[in-house]
Every structure is written in C-alpha cells, then in structure tokens.
C-alpha cells in the first residue's frame, strides 16, 4: 500500500476523533533526534497528544546486550521529553509483566473516540509482519514512518496503512551513544542535558556488556 506523503501540507478543518500518537522504544538512552521526531510528528500529524511508551521488557533485544533498568530508562525519557508540548511519557509497559508487546499497548489506548498513530523508523516498519499479533496492530493504528539512514526505501508490509513523515536529517542512534559513552567520548549536544546528567550519575554504558 502506498504511503500518504506528509512533506506536503496535511491539514483538515476538523478532526472528528482525538488523534493520539504512540512512540515506543527502549530509549537506552533517549537522544535529541527522538525529541525532534516527537515535535515533528505532532505538527505533521496534527496530534492532540503524543504518548511515549518505554518498553519494560524489550523482547527483541533481551539477551543481545545489557539493558539499562527500566526505571532508569523511564526517568531519562521523562527528562528528554519534558519540554515538548503535548507529549506524555507513560510507564504502562513497565507496569505489565512479561514481554512488552506493542499490540497490548495499542489495545490499552484504543477506543471509538481515538484515532491512533504508531511512530516507527523505516527499518523497524519493514519488519512489522514479524511482530506479535501484527494483524491486530494493523487494525488498531496507522503507521507513521520516519526515514532511517540506509533504510530510506524500506516500507511496511502491504497489510498496513501508513504515512511518511518528513523529518530533518538528524541521524543519531542510541547504539552509537552507548559506544561513545563507553569509550569516554563526549555526548554533549547528542542527548538532552538532563539525560546526560542521569547517564553520568548512574555511570551508564561504561562496561563492555552495554553494547
């Protein structure tokens, strides 16, 4: 299914339902590109609210590397997005037991008065058909895709209704930030100041296991 291009004006006079975006992730750590994305998505999708959901147990990453405790990642996310209007950071996935599945989170927010949008990078969106109960995800939300370097042409599977977000060329990854921190290289300007304070306070990403 082809995307609706949001680089052109995407405006309507009245939205009959409340428009809510969901932006989920491990946020280990959250960085300035996440913040820019949130603000751009609110503007381009005309969202009434954007909810940032921090994964409690990110099942696709468990076992691949050391993951920062969920409560610390939640604290960093709250610090990162604190100055962005209409953004709320939710601990909904931390309060659930077991793996954090996006479909369960969508069900929590779905109702007849709400139109849901799920924000995903193009690399992640291309593999949506491997997700837990992915057909339910397609029924519950429209996918708003932002480009990732090396995956500019990647698109969601055909079953998904999706929109293309137009974003500034900020390519920052949490993986690279963890490597920089482990090597003792500066991360000033790459993460919000309050996030950097938490990283330094907790001594995050210093061990070789935090890759």
* Mean local confidence (pLDDT), 171-195: 94
Residue 156 CB-density burial (10 A; 0-12 exposed, 13-18 middle, 19+ buried): buried
Range with lowest mean pLDDT among 7-11, 62-66, 145-149, 156-160: 7-11
Question: Which residue blocks in 31-145 are alpha helix, DSSP H?
Answer: 32-45, 70-80, 102-109, 122-125, 134-140
CATH code where residue 87 lies:
3.40.50.620
Residue 142 domain-assigned (yes or no):
yes
Instruction: Please indicate, yes or no, if residue 70 is contained in any of the structural domains.
Output: yes
* Tally of structural domains, the chain: 1
Residue 108 lies in a domain: yes
User: Is residue 150 domain-resident?
Assistant: yes
In a domain? residue 60: yes
Q: Is the pLDDT of residue 87 over 60?
A: yes
- Give the distance between the most distant pair of CA atoms in the chain: 53
Radius of gyration of the chain measured on its C-alpha atoms: 17
Residue 204 in domain: no
User: Binning pLDDT at 50, 70 and 90, where does residue 59 land?
Assistant: low
State which residues form the domain around 120: 14-168
Instruction: Please give the share of the chain, as a percent, with pLDDT higher than 70.
Output: 87
Q: Decide if pLDDT at 1 tops 90.
A: no
Can you state the percent helix, strand and coil of the chain, rounding each to 5?
30, 20, 50
Give domain status of residue 144, yes or no. Answer: yes
């Amino acid at each position: 299914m082809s995307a609706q291009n949001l680089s052109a004006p995407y405006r309507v006079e009245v939205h009959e339902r409340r428009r809510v975006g969901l932006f989920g992730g491990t946020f280990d750590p959250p960085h300035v590109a996440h913040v820019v994305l949130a603000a751009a998505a609110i503007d381009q999708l005309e969202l009434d609210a954007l909810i940032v959901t921090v994964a409690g147990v990110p099942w696709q990453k468990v076992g691949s590397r050391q993951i920062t405790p969920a409560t610390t990642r939640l604290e960093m996310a709250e610090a990162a997005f604190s100055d962005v209007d209409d953004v709320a950071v939710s601990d909904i996935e931390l309060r659930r037991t077991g793996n954090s599945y996006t479909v369960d989170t969508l069900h929590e927010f779905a109702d007849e008065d709400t139109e849901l949008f799920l924000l995903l990078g193009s690399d992640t969106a291309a593999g949506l058909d491997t997700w837990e109960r992915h057909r339910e995800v397609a029924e519950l939300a429209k996918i708003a895709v932002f480009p990732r370097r090396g995956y500019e042409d990647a698109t969601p599977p055909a079953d998904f209704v999706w929109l293309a977000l137009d974003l500034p060329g900020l390519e920052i990854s949490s993986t690279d930030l963890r490597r920089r921190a482990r090597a003792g290289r500066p991360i000033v300007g790459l993460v919000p100041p309050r996030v950097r304070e938490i990283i330094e306070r907790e001594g995050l990403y210093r061990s070789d296991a935090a890759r």
